[in-house]
Amino acid sequence: MKIKVNKINAYSRELTINLSWDECRDDFQLTVKKFSKKVKLPGFRPGKIPLKVLMNKFMPNIEAEFIEEGVNKFYVEALKEENLIPVNKANIEDVHFHYEEPFNFKATFQIEPEIVLPRMKKNCLKVQRTEYISDDVDIDNVIDEMRRSRAEVKTVEDGAKEGHYLIVDFQKLDNSGLPIIGEKLEKRFLQIGSDPFSGDNMNKLIGLKPGDKAQLDLPDINDNSMTKYELSIINVEEQIIPEVNKEFIKSVEPEAEDETSFRGIIKTKVDDSYTQRAKEAFERILADSMIDYVKPEFAPAMVESYLDHLIEEAKEQQQSKDLDEDKIRDSYKAVAERNMKWYLIRKAIVSNHKDISVSKDDVEQEIQKLLERSPEHSQEIKKYYKKPSNRQRIEDDLIEKKVLNYLEDFAKINDVKVHTKVLREEAEKEGNK
């Protein structure tokens, strides 16, 4: 078998495969034998048709079957011989074969491109590292969330007021005020006074009781245009939020001695959360800086495979196949391309640096840390990490950390401090758009 490899670009390859008749004679005869067993011809039992009769009557069919089987077999053999691993299904063309003639075809496919890393220099990567400065508002927000999560729900009998919660059915109406069949949302939760149930809409809800109805102009769930809905009130509820007293503090933080120490514990948790957020952001910026430095090529088929996997995961989570796959592809294409570039760079770094590796003991130590942090969930953790794919995730995470630690030596880091008040203001502006 003669094989010619044409390198089209960093990730595309074209194999030209040529076999003489002598090289594929045995495979052709095997195809003839299998074909004779399944073909039916009046006057002959299956498998007993004389070879000459079989060849004269079914030669085009036999050749076609041999081509299909032969392309698969010799394509795989050629890949092994040339040490090539495709990342997509090959496009087969220029196929030529006839009985007692050579067998030729071309296969075009994509592979993982080999990434050649540039020489790493000091300060070649420009990275910003953020330190978040929290304040009392952050602590208050966490405590308020704790209070809301432990609120007592009380049914209201004497009519709804601002701040009360309603359980309602939403019925969409047409321009004449008649219900639109199939446009009903049942048992939805809303709070009186929060958008879009404020202003005139709030006034229409004040005083309502179970069994009452009200018509409101609300944003359409499909296109955000204003649409009239009829609300049927199922229940009116009030949340009794607990006060911050000794009983409440002990229920959420048993180690706290008083409100001062309670707020101190909450501040530590807030700061730890922001530290983790800053760390994750720094690592991503560091990886992105390396991507910009290397500017790697990637196989488009790898991105398509990544997006296919995302879509399958989305289908499993929603337990539905009615997804806008094109929208998902458009939304996540840039993310998929970025992740593919980083995957290739990380793989090249690990390949070039034998000291960047993870042993079975490293994985076991990481699992042990998880067990020590959550002893109450030890059985679930042990069961989860018996699965090889889940242990592989730990290995990948450890490799990622080592790669990032290596890159940090070549980074020029700009340390900045950001007060969390700025984050809240930006979030508020974003929410008002």
How do residues 352-399 score in pLDDT, each as one tens digit?
999 999 999 999 999 999 999 888 889 999 999 999 999 999 999 999
Rounded mean pLDDT of the chain?
91
Mean pLDDT for the stretch of residues 113-127? 94
Give the range among 52-56, 151-155, 200-204, 367-371 with minimum mean pLDDT. Answer: 52-56
Q: Is 70 exceeded by the pLDDT of residue 85?
A: yes
CA distances from 188 to 153, 191, 231, 358, 373 (A): 16, 10, 10, 50, 38
Percent of the chain topping pLDDT 70: 96
Mean pLDDT for the stretch of residues 14-27? 95
Q: Predicted confidence band at 58 (pLDDT cuts at 50, 70, 90)?
A: confident
User: Would you say residue 319 lies in a domain?
Assistant: yes
User: Would you say residue 285 lies in a domain?
Assistant: no
Give the range among 47-61, 63-77, 267-281, 342-356 with minimum mean pLDDT. Answer: 47-61
User: Would you say residue 283 lies in a domain?
Assistant: no
Q: CATH number for the domain including 52?
A: 3.30.70.1050
Q: Is 80 exceeded by the pLDDT of residue 245?
A: yes
Which alpha helices (DSSP H) does 256-377 contain, by range?
259-294, 300-318, 325-352, 360-373
Q: Is 90 exceeded by the pLDDT of residue 182?
A: no
User: Would you say residue 379 lies in a domain?
Assistant: no
Domains in the chain, number: 3
Q: Is 70 exceeded by the pLDDT of residue 150?
A: yes
Whether residues 13 and 103 fall in one domain: yes
Query: What is the rounded CA–CA span in Å between residue 262 and residue 252?
Result: 9
Whether residues 219 and 300 fall in one domain: no
Of 38 and 153, more confident: 153
Q: How many helices (H) and strands (E) does the chain have?
A: 12, 11
The whole-number pLDDT of residue 32 equals: 86
Q: Predicted confidence band at 427 (pLDDT cuts at 50, 70, 90)?
A: confident
Bridge pairing between strands 12-19 and 165-173: unpaired
Buried b (16+ CB within 10 A) or exposed e, 390-413: ebeebbeebbbebbbeebeebbee
CA distances from 358 to 350, 362, 390, 395 (A): 10, 6, 15, 6
Q: Predicted confidence band at 46 (pLDDT cuts at 50, 70, 90)?
A: low
User: Would you say residue 246 lies in a domain?
Assistant: no
CA distances from 165 to 118, 135, 184, 318 (A): 60, 31, 20, 28
Q: Is 70 exceeded by the pLDDT of residue 433?
A: no
Q: Predicted confidence band at 28 (pLDDT cuts at 50, 70, 90)?
A: very high
In the block, residue with structure tokens 């758009």: 433
User: Would you say residue 220 lies in a domain?
Assistant: yes
Whether residues 161 and 221 fall in one domain: yes
Query: What is the rounded CA–CA span in Å between residue 349 and residue 356?
Result: 8
User: Would you say residue 262 lies in a domain?
Assistant: no
Q: Please give the structure tokens belonging to residue 89.
A: 């299904």
Q: CATH number for the domain including 168?
A: 3.10.50.40
Preceding omega of 196 cis (within 30 degrees of 0):
yes
User: Would you say residue 206 lies in a domain?
Assistant: yes
Q: Is 70 exceeded by the pLDDT of residue 221?
A: no
Whether residues 12 and 98 fall in one domain: yes
- What is the per-residue pLDDT across 301-360, written as a single tens digit (0 to 9) for each? 999 999 999 888 888 777 655 678 888 899 999 999 999 999 999 999 999 999 999 999
Whether residues 13 and 64 fall in one domain: yes
CB-based contact 151:241 (threshold 8 Å): yes
The whole-number pLDDT of residue 35 equals: 85
- The pTM (predicted TM-score) of the whole model is 0.79
Q: Is 80 exceeded by the pLDDT of residue 88?
A: yes
The whole-number pLDDT of residue 39 equals: 76
Question: Of 218, 240, 262, which residue sits at a domain end?
Answer: 240
Q: Is 80 exceeded by the pLDDT of residue 253?
A: yes
Q: Which domain holds residue 215?
A: 152-240
Which alpha helices (DSSP H) does 19-88 contain, by range?
21-38, 51-82
Percent of the chain topping pLDDT 90: 77
Q: Is 90 exceeded by the pLDDT of residue 33?
A: no
CB-based contact 256:249 (threshold 8 Å): yes
Whether residues 15 and 86 fall in one domain: yes
> Residue 97 has what DSSP assignment?
-
Query: What is the rounded CA–CA span in Å between residue 414 and residue 416?
Result: 6
